[in-house]
Chains A and B, each alone.
Chain A
Amino acid sequence: MSPSLAARNNQAAGTGRGLGVYAALAYAFLHLPLVTLIVFSFNASRFTLWEGFSLRWYRAVFTDPEMADAAWTSVVVAIVSTAISTIVGTLAAYALWKRRSRLLSGSLYLSLVTPEIVTGVSLLALFQWAFRWLNWQLGLYTVILAHVSFSIAYVAIVVSARLRTLDPALEEAAMDLGATEWRAFLRVTLPSLMPGIVAAALLALTISFDDYVITSLVAGVDSTTLPMVIYAMARRGANPSINAISTLIVVIFGAIILISERMRET
């Protein structure tokens, strides 16, 4: 143990106990609501009184055709928009890493801090404006466009963070050994960027799958997503079916995150 580390431990001994108790409470605040939510999804009763273990709410979720449709729509939207935004965002991050552009990175950050509701209504306004000339209407493709639109900035930020840890000399070495710029990008930079790109894609996937505010504004009649169904149910009050579908979402995404973390470690 290094002396400075030891000192930190020593200092922490006094104030550390208080901090430890506080941290335990803070983690309870962060996690207990979700844990409770999950536990009561297995409750036989409709009310928040434990009456016994039951899967009836899961049965209700799986036999609801509206829920199945919405889930399928969400999956399609999430996968397509993630694929597009990951490619666009990664290429942009790489080009910005090579040479900065204040205008583009400024726009990226600005789109990140734009309140969701503003993004939603401005895209709605754009689509409605375009429909004056085109005989189209809101639908799955407007939802996908909107999702691509808000995911690109997230992808670019995450990939940029990874690029910052990269040694520019690696590409120079590749070109010195005869690789063209494109080949150097493909054979040297892209492989070492992979963990960052995977993380970015996962972030885009979760954000897309979760989005309600923007989606609800630009969705058409045939493009109801899962969050829209959940939201409509929740506005009518709590319902154990929502607990069940929430649990499924948390568990599936938790598993995806865990697996990707494992893959990154090995």
Chain B
Amino acid sequence: MNRLRFWFLLPAWVWIVFLFIAPLVIVCAYSLLTRGTYGGVELPWTLESYARILDPLYGAILLRSIAIAASATALCLVLAFPLALFISRSKRHKNLYLHLVILPFWTSFLVRTYAWLFLLRDTGLFNTVLTGTGVIRAPLSLLYNDAAVLIGLVYGFLPFMVLPLFATLERMDPSLLEAAADLGARPWAAFFRVIVPLSKAGIWAGTVLVFVPCLGAYLTPDLLGGGKAVMVGNLVQNQFTTARDWPFGSAISITLMLLATMALALFNWRAPKEML
């Protein structure tokens, strides 16, 4: 096997070294360099870019991103749990219900985000229906604010929460719930004392799977948040394009990367083994 294994792994290692590790090393180096006069980077080495992240202006964006990502994750958890419970308890059409959750995931993320742009804009369906029925006189500005970003993120990542929750619920021994009822637990008590603690692995997995991409989101805040609702992802993109401050953009990227790595470590530590 050893020779075969070598040839099988070679392309993957080439990929890892040249297209994953090397770019990160370069970004790491850039983050410690000084901004060049005409963009790009130059010596000397400095930690200034990292210090700038703590600048109130940029620190606020980081905190905002964490707050939005956390809210989106919490919303996903609350919305996904009953749905996962419903699917795991259905008998005849379980596969259909599951596919109905996965299906939007297979269609373009860009299209799904655009769909909300289409629904929420001033002349969008919500405003047209509301003004048409006379509920409101002037259209509401539903787009280009934090709420729109939150809706977009929840819509985009809900399946990532439903699937791990479903996986843990599906494996749960139904006699445990009977035992809880038998010992006097009402449905809500059984939910919080038995179902939720036993779904911990799925909750952790879903939380990481939703929180990490939400934290680094670029497309959703850009399209649905407009210029106003800036998140870390937009900040990075801006530093590498318009602002041409590569060291600062790199420093934020490395920070994001560290947060993602911590989340992965958490996932490794808590998620059900069979999901790895």
Contacts and interface: CB of A to CB of B under 8 A. Distances in A.
B16 A104 contact: yes
Contact of A230 (B101, B114, B233, B237): B114
B181 interface: yes
Nearest to B191: A15
B108 A118 contact: no
Nearest to A1: B91
Contact of B108 (A20, A109, A250): A250
A129 B26 contact: yes
A249 B11 contact: no
A27 B103 CA distance: 11
Contact of B5 (A95, A107, A235): A95
Given A30-B100, A113-B263, A121 B240 contact: yes
B21 to A, nearest CB: 7
B23 A126 contact: yes
Contacts, number: 256
A250 B263 contact: no
Interface in A96-124: 96, 98-99, 101, 104, 107, 109-111, 113-124
Contacts of B208: 113
A140 interface: no
B23 A117 contact: no
B97 interface: yes
Interface in A70-118: 87-89, 91-92, 94-96, 98-99, 101, 104, 107, 109-111, 113-118
Name the prevailing secondary structure of the B interface residues. Answer: helix
Nearest to A5: B91
A149 interface: yes
A113 B260 CA distance: 6
Contacts of A88: 11-12, 15
Given A16-B89, A206-B106, A8 B218 contact: no
Contacts of A5: 91, 174
A238 B223 CA distance: 10
A118 B241 CA distance: 13
Interface stretch (B47-55, B56-64, B117-125): B117-125
Name the prevailing secondary structure of the A interface residues. Answer: helix
A29 B13 CA distance: 42
Interface in B14-50: 15-16, 19-24, 26-27, 30, 40
Interface string A21-53: 011001101110110110010000001110000
Interface in A132-156: 145-146, 148-149, 152, 156
A16 B89 CA distance: 9
A234 interface: yes
B125 A48 contact: yes
A166 interface: no
Nearest to A46: B123
A122 B79 contact: no
Interface residues of B, number: 88
Contacts of A117: 216, 218, 233, 236-237, 253, 256
B156 to A, nearest CB: 11
B107 A122 contact: no
Contact of A118 (B112, B222, B253): B253
Which of B123, B187, B253: most chain A CB closer than 10 A? B253
B107 A36 contact: no
Interface in A159-208: 164, 181-182, 185, 206
Contacts of B97: 23
B128 interface: yes
A265 B85 CA distance: 27
A234 B256 contact: no
7 contacts: A5-B91, A36-B119, A104-B16, A110-B260, A113-B264, A118-B256, A122-B26
Interface of A: 4-5, 7-9, 11-12, 14-16, 19-20, 22-23, 26-27, 29-31, 33-34, 36-37, 40, 47-49, 87-89, 91-92, 94-96, 98-99, 101, 104, 107, 109-111, 113-126, 128-129, 145-146, 148-149, 152, 156, 164, 181-182, 185, 206, 209-210, 212-213, 217, 227, 230-231, 234-235, 237-238, 242-243, 246, 249-250, 253-254, 257
Given A33-B155, A117-B216, A121-B250, 17 more contacts: A8-B89, A23-B86, A23-B87, A26-B82, A30-B101, A33-B119, A40-B125, A89-B12, A91-B9, A95-B9, A146-B19, A148-B19, A149-B15, A209-B108, A238-B114, A249-B107, A254-B106
